[in-house]
Amino acid sequence: MDALITLLPGDGIGPEVTAAAHRALKQVAEVYGHTFRFEVKLVGGAAIDETGSPLPPDTMASCMDSAAVFLGAVGGPKWSGPHAMVRPEKGLLELRAELGVYANLRPVKVMDELVDASPLKAGIIRGVDLVVVRELTGGIYFGKKTRDETVASDLCVYHTHEVERIVRVAARLASGRRNKVCSVDKANVLETSRLWRDVADRTLEREFPEIETETLLVDAAAMHLLSRPRDFDVIVTENMFGDILTDEASMLAGSMGMLPSASLGDSTRGLYEPIHGSAPDIAGLDVANPCAAIASAAMLLRHSLSLVEEADAVDAAIAAAIAAGARTADIARDGETPISTTEMTDRILAGLG
């Protein structure tokens, strides 16, 4: 395997966790005899500071030429003032749109060893294994925006084909898991959600009759995600709801630092990133949890490069390090001594050979 991978470290802890993922990918290449070539490019606030744009043309060109793209994190208070003319997040939205990655897969699996890291009771979260499939290139994040001194608006738009394709992704994923799909909307209030429900129900009934389906309003889904998370297999929902629900779901696993994601489209090229933000308060301290970033690298191997054995090995190495007691500060219990980002990465990579 010879593949070009674009690395976008971004802002805050992004460079630190990207470095961990980079190390993991390089070690996989060495152990399994692959050739991975890497280009490191600017994105987000770092790109604004250097070029004035959150997504410079050479960054986009590299991403389009790559087999896969890995992103650390973007954003931070330096660029988030209410009157900022250019924001880091704009670059991320543009990147997703240009790559055509409309399906964001966010797996949430609770490790037995980390049950106590969650604020929820062990009896509720033990055995949780679900995936949120978030529609990524439509909805309110991409709709027309207006603002003057007294009023602002964000337009939420969805088309039938956007709902159909994301529901198909969720159903196909569920067919290889426990055959259950829960569609989440706000159909009692929003017209876009009423379209979503009609199209989702029709698509699932006609094309996937073998799938067990459930429909929940987003507020009910938020409640059930904490009260009966083991009941969920695959959750499919629109852009903003998916963003919020997966941050909530991170508390099942104990920390955002444990959850990876893959953003996929119709080609094999995907965008991979940990779901956490840039965490500027801990940037540069070597304390961030690299597990989500390294697990995102495993998803890159699996989905864009079709290297299933290698992806399984990375996931197993993360699990082995956790089982052996390796803990960064975000998942350490009282009395446990946390280790650094670098040391956690070292311990994970030790399991890769």
Pick the catalytic residue from 141, 233, 315, 330.
Answer: 141
Q: Please report the pLDDT score of residue 285 as a whole number.
A: 98
Q: Please report the pLDDT score of residue 335 as a whole number.
A: 83
Q: Please report the pLDDT score of residue 106 as a whole number.
A: 96
The whole-angstrom separation of Cα 208 and Cα 221 is: 22
Could you give the percent of the chain with pLDDT greater than 70?
100
Residues 123-147: tens digit of each pLDDT: 999 999 999 999 999 999 999 999 9
**pLDDT surpasses 80 at 228:** yes
Pick the catalytic residue from 11, 158, 185, 186.
Answer: 186
Provide the pLDDT confidence category of residue 334 given band limits of 50, 70 and 90: confident
Known active-site residue 243? yes
Q: Please report the pLDDT score of residue 333 as a whole number.
A: 87
Pick the catalytic residue from 11, 233, 243, 330.
Answer: 243
Assess contact for 67 and 269: CB atoms under 8 A: yes
Assess contact for 226 and 248: CB atoms under 8 A: yes
Known active-site residue 186? yes
**pLDDT surpasses 90 at 353:** no
Q: Please report the pLDDT score of residue 203 as a whole number.
A: 98
**pLDDT surpasses 80 at 81:** no
Q: For residue 332, give the DSSP letter.
A: P
Residues 190-224: tens digit of each pLDDT: 999 999 999 999 999 999 999 999 999 999 999 99
* Rounded average pLDDT over 238-246: 96
Provide the pLDDT confidence category of residue 113 given band limits of 50, 70 and 90: very high
Angle at 328 (CA atoms; ends 292, 226), nearest 5 degrees: 60
- Complete domains list, the chain, with CATH: 1-107+256-353 (3.40.718.10), 119-253 (3.40.718.10)
Residues 167-191: tens digit of each pLDDT: 999 999 999 999 999 999 999 999 9
* Rounded average pLDDT over 324-333: 95
Give the helix/strand (H/E) hosting 160.
Answer: helix 160-175
pTM exceeding 0.85 = yes
Provide the pLDDT confidence category of residue 80 given band limits of 50, 70 and 90: confident
Sheet with 271-272, side-by-side order of all strands: 35-40, 2-10, 68-73, 271-272, 262-264, 103-109, 129-135, 234-237, 180-185, 212-217
The whole-angstrom separation of Cα 129 and Cα 212 is: 17
Higher-confidence residue of 83 and 47: namely: 47
Pick the catalytic residue from 154, 247, 286, 346.
Answer: 247
Pick the catalytic residue from 112, 219, 231, 281.
Answer: 219
In this predicted structure, which of 33-37, 78-82, 115-119, 134-138 has the lowest mean pLDDT?
78-82
Known active-site residue 219? yes
* Rounded average pLDDT over 275-300: 97
